[in-house]
Each structure stands twice: as C-alpha cells, then as structure tokens.
Amino acid sequence: MPDVPNQSSAARKTKQSAVPGCRVCSRRRIRCDGAQPACEKCISRGLHCPGYGKTLRWICGPASKGPNRLHFRTTPAPHHSRRAADTPIVLQPVTPSYLSHVVPYEHKQLPSLLSPVPILGTESLLLQHFADVVSVQLAWFEGESNPWRSIILPMALESPGPSTSLCSLLSAILGVSASNVASRLAEGDPQRDLYLRIMDSLRTNTFRLLSKDLRVLRSALQLGTPPPQLLIQQVIASVLLLSYLEVHWPSNGMWHFHLRTAQSISNMLQFTATGDATNVFLSEELFAASTWPLLTNCPTNEISTIQELYSKSHIGQDIKGHSPFIAFVIIIRRVIQARIGIGIRGLEPGKQHAVLCTTLQQALINLEQAYETALRESTKTASVNDHDLKLIITAYYHATQIYCHQALSAPVPTLNEGLCACPDQTTLLRLRIHLLDSLLSLNNPNALAQSQPWPLFILATVSAHDPVTHLWFEKRMNSIMTLYCEIDRPQMLKFLRSFWAQVACHNWIEYAQLWKKDHQRFLIL
C-alpha cells in the first residue's frame, strides 16, 4: 500500500499553500514566508512589503451611495477572479464592528468632496483607511479608546447642524488618509498618482474651508464674544491633521508651518486643556507635535517663540495627562527650553556649567515623577498588551534620562562660545543597557511600533561604535516603516549613519547643528 502522509504534515502543507505570497516576493520569483504583518524576506532586504490583501469586489452597489453608505468590509472574490493592480478597490456594505461604538453611521451622509475624481466609493475607502491605519499611526498606542477614532472621527461626522468646520475637518481626515495611502505605493504606480491627485484636491479644499473658519473666529474675537468651543476644537484638529499630512512629504517643510499656525490659534483663543476631554486630548497632541521639531530644528534666535509657546501651553504646567507618554514630552520640552535659554544668556563657561548641572539634577528629579505618573496612568488604559506598554514606558524613561544628560552636558551655543563638560560615559553606558533591555524584552514589538522611534533613536545615538546595534536598529526601523510608512524616518536614518561615520562630535545634539547646515532638517518620529 502507498504510504499515507502524516495528517499534521498534510494539514501544514494545506495551510502553507493557502497563504498567498506578497506581491514583492512574487515579482522577485522567490518563495514568500508569509509572516505577519509583513514577510521577513522583504524586511531583511529593506523592501516595502505590501502584505497579503484579499481580492475585493462590489456587492449591493457602491458603498458611498444609497442606504448602505459607510457600512463596508472586505470580502474575498471567487477563486477564479483576480484583481488587476490598477483595478479600483471595492467594498461590501456592512457595519464595521470596531467603529460601531464610535459613529451612528446609519443616519450620517458623507458629503461628496471628490467630485473631480471619478472613483466610486473613494470617500468610504479613505474613511476606512483612516479608522484602520492612520488613527493607529497617530495614537501613542492602539486600543479601544484611541482618541483619533473615539473623539476626532465622531467630531468630523457628527454635528448639531451644517458647518464649514465639519467639512474642513472631514476633508482633512480624508486628505491625510489619501496621503498615507499614496506614500505606501511605489513610484510609477497609477494608483499612487491617483491618490496624490485626491490628496491635492482635499488639501486645497481644507485650506479653503479653514480660511472661512478662521474668519468666523476672528470676527467673534473682534466682537468680544467667545467663539463656539466646538469650532475651535475642529479647527485645531484640522490643522494638526494637515501637519501630519505634510509629514508624509517632509522635504517641503509645510508641516512646520501648520504646527506654528495651530499653536498661534491656540494661544490667540486661550485654548485650555482643563475640563473637557476633547480639549485635553487636542492640547496634548498640539504640545507633543510642537515639541518634536524643537529637538532637531531649534535655532537660538527662536528662544522667545519657544518660551511663549511653553508659557501658554497649559498641559506643560502639570506632569499628567490623557496619555502616559505626555509626561516625558513635558520633560523634553523643559530641557529644550532650559538648554537654549542658558545659551542665550551668554554666561561665562564656569557659571554656565554650574547652571547646567543644577538644571540636570532638577530634570532628573522631575523625570522620576514623570515615570511614576506614566506607570500609574497606564493602569487606567485598556491596552492590547499591558506588559509591553509598561516596557515602552520604561524605554521612554531611560531614553529621556539619556537625553537629559546629552542635552544638559553638550556644548551650548552662546554669544561667547562657552563650553561645558561632555556627558559622563559610565552613566550613559549604564542607561544604554537598561534601554536596550527594555526594547529587547517586548513580547510583540510590532504592536507598539508607532511609539518606539524616540527610544530607538536615543539608543542609536549612544551606540556609535557598536555595529551590531546598528544592524539591529536599522532592521527595527525598517520594520516600523513597513508597518507604518516611512514619513521622515529615512532622513533620520541618514543623519544617524552620518553621525556614526564621523569622529569629531561625540554628542548628536552638537552634530545635528552642524549637519543641518548642509542637509534637510529631520524629525524624530
């Protein structure tokens, strides 16, 4: 009798054959390992893995029209049907379970914002992409209470009545979603060109509608009447989203302009983070979004602007907030302000060093409080992985400790070019070990990948002479870019490679000031 194959072996072969390879491996004519969420063969070669999406088809008509609008899910097509690369993706109407608690879709009509673009269901597809992908990238970590889904999305889709700000926020949401899709597609792909045109149309529309909103706010201020709080919230959320849209294409620098605009609006309207959950969230997002650029793009002649932003940011006055990570951002902002403020005062080197040491001691005390607060706040958060969340918080703690030593020991630009001592290498080595241990102990690094660039970047800055860590770091960053798109991370990698290759500067902050004179500025995100 012929041998009967082992049942488990046969089942395993059936399972393997049922998993389609990614398009990159198919194009390269190699066997795809089918790893989730992206195949290891693409990641190990630094390639963008498109994943293993199913073939989709229309059922019950377009999802953007009729009684089924905005109720959709992906459905596999018959086995004999294969979707061509340039065929528009289509959706089947149903209620997505992960959004059913957020928006009453049954009674909400999505305005037609893309009339010049002849694609059925585009708005629904972009809204789905925002809920599924972009909201995850924007949040510190993914969970049921993701504010971009639970606060901002309902704000865009629900309103007491017709409002231009409703349309501007919705247009911004769809625009950043189109930008995100386009950034994930290869150059030359017809779908990429199409999504870029959609993005441009939505961005222009958002600018136009925001101009009307700002005129309404300005008129209210001139009349001495308080503007509607909902209008202020929608405007700030729209500008923050426009900034994130531009971060997908960072070379044009428009993200910086939008952040300054949002901060100016907040200051002008005395936007406060107290009381309202939406205000708390938007204040924190604005505070964090305006802090990261200061790490690498903060000339000393902007110190007055920095002090003004800091003094008028209510969230910066207390080490607690909606997200456990905001406590560390507050410390980072304080260190930036203190470091550049000391430089502007033009102290003698001896006095400067004494002030830096005192500031460092106070920053480390505040950081201990921030760490305790972050761990305490994390227990209130429903997370898919509490163990990994605490490890990321610990990684933020050690990374920010290292940054405090780097920033408050590095040469500070002054009128007299005063110098101070370099960071204590023994301390940095000890903190580096703790930081690396936290990152290596993650059970599922991909689950919290969007929160890892800051600790990973700091780890890379204290591993200049460790090629093994360089390889691990680049592999980890390539995995993050595969999962959450590139945005400004290739420029960050370019800076780090340059920092590793040189020997003159031992502190990345000092080197960043020299590097940006000949290169584009970059963001750590």
Residue 323 has pLDDT above 90, yes or no: no
Q: In this structure, are residues 135 and 102 in contact, taking their beta carbons and an 8 Å threshold?
A: no
With b for 16 or more beta-carbon neighbours within 10 A and e for fewer, the 460-488 pattern comes to: bbbbbebeebbebbbebbbbbbbbbbbbb
Residue 222 lies in a domain: yes
Give the C-alpha separation, 305 to 303, whole Å: 5
Residue 311 lies in a domain: no
Q: Please choose, from the candidates 118, 69, 117, 76, the residue with its C-alpha nearest in 3D space to the C-alpha of residue 94.
A: 69
**DSSP letter (8 states) at residue 227:** P
Higher pLDDT, 509 or 38: 509
Higher pLDDT, 159 or 91: 159
Average pLDDT over residues 138-163: 77
Q: Please choose, from the candidates 460, 443, 524, 522, the residue with its C-alpha nearest in 3D space to the C-alpha of residue 497.
A: 460
Domain of 145 in residue numbering reads as 64-73+86-271
Higher pLDDT, 240 or 461: 461
Give the C-alpha separation, 373 to 395, whole Å: 15
Q: In this structure, are residues 267 and 222 in contact, taking their beta carbons and an 8 Å threshold?
A: no
Give the C-alpha separation, 455 to 332, whole Å: 13
pTM exceeds 0.85, yes or no: no
The answer to whether the bond into 37 is cis (omega within 30° of 0) is yes
DSSP 3-state of 73: strand
Give the C-alpha separation, 240 to 263, whole Å: 10
Average pLDDT over residues 17-22: 57
Higher pLDDT, 520 or 83: 520
Residue 474 lies in a domain: no
Residue 195 lies in a domain: yes
pLDDT tens digits, residue range 118-150? 334 678 888 888 888 888 889 888 777 789 988
Give the model's pLDDT for residue 124. 80
**DSSP letter (8 states) at residue 101:** T
DSSP 3-state of 92: strand
Average pLDDT, the chain: 73
Give the model's pLDDT for residue 443. 92
pLDDT tens digits, residue range 238-295? 988 988 887 776 555 566 666 666 666 666 555 554 567 888 888 888 888 888 888 8
- Band of pLDDT at residue 329, cut at 50, 70 and 90: very high
Give the C-alpha separation, 356 to 233, whole Å: 38
Amino acid identity of 210? L
Angle formed by the axes of helices 508-515 and 386-407, nearest 10°:
70
Give the model's pLDDT for residue 256. 64
Q: Angle 254-255-260 (CA atoms, 0-180°, nearest 5)?
A: 100
Residue 482 lies in a domain: no
- Band of pLDDT at residue 163, cut at 50, 70 and 90: very low
**DSSP letter (8 states) at residue 72:** -
Give the model's pLDDT for residue 461. 96
Give the model's pLDDT for residue 213. 85
Residue 149 lies in a domain: yes
Q: In this structure, are residues 336 and 293 in contact, taking their beta carbons and an 8 Å threshold?
A: no
With b for 16 or more beta-carbon neighbours within 10 A and e for fewer, the 394-429 pattern comes to: bbbbbbbbbbbbbbbbbbbebeeebebeebeeeebe
With b for 16 or more beta-carbon neighbours within 10 A and e for fewer, the 127-163 pattern comes to: bbbbbebbbbbbbbbbbeebbbbbbbbbbbbebeeeb
Residue 498 has pLDDT above 90, yes or no: yes
Contacts of 59 (CB under 8 A, 6+ apart): 75, 92, 93
Handedness of CA 210, 214, 220, 226 (dihedral sign): positive
Give the C-alpha separation, 176 to 169, whole Å: 11
Total domains in the chain come to 1
Give the model's pLDDT for residue 351. 77
Residue 55 has pLDDT above 70, yes or no: no
Give the model's pLDDT for residue 54. 41
Reduce the secondary structure of 104-132 to three states and give it as a string. CHHHCCCCCCCCCCCCCCHHHHHHHHHHH
Q: Angle 160-163-164 (CA atoms, 0-180°, nearest 5)?
A: 160
Residue 502 lies in a domain: no
Q: In this structure, are residues 439 and 456 in contact, taking their beta carbons and an 8 Å threshold?
A: yes
Residue 206 has pLDDT above 50, yes or no: yes
Positions of E strands within 328-407: none
Six-digit token pair at 523? 């963001």
Give the C-alpha separation, 273 to 326, whole Å: 13
Residue 156 lies in a domain: yes
Place of tokens 């005395």: 270
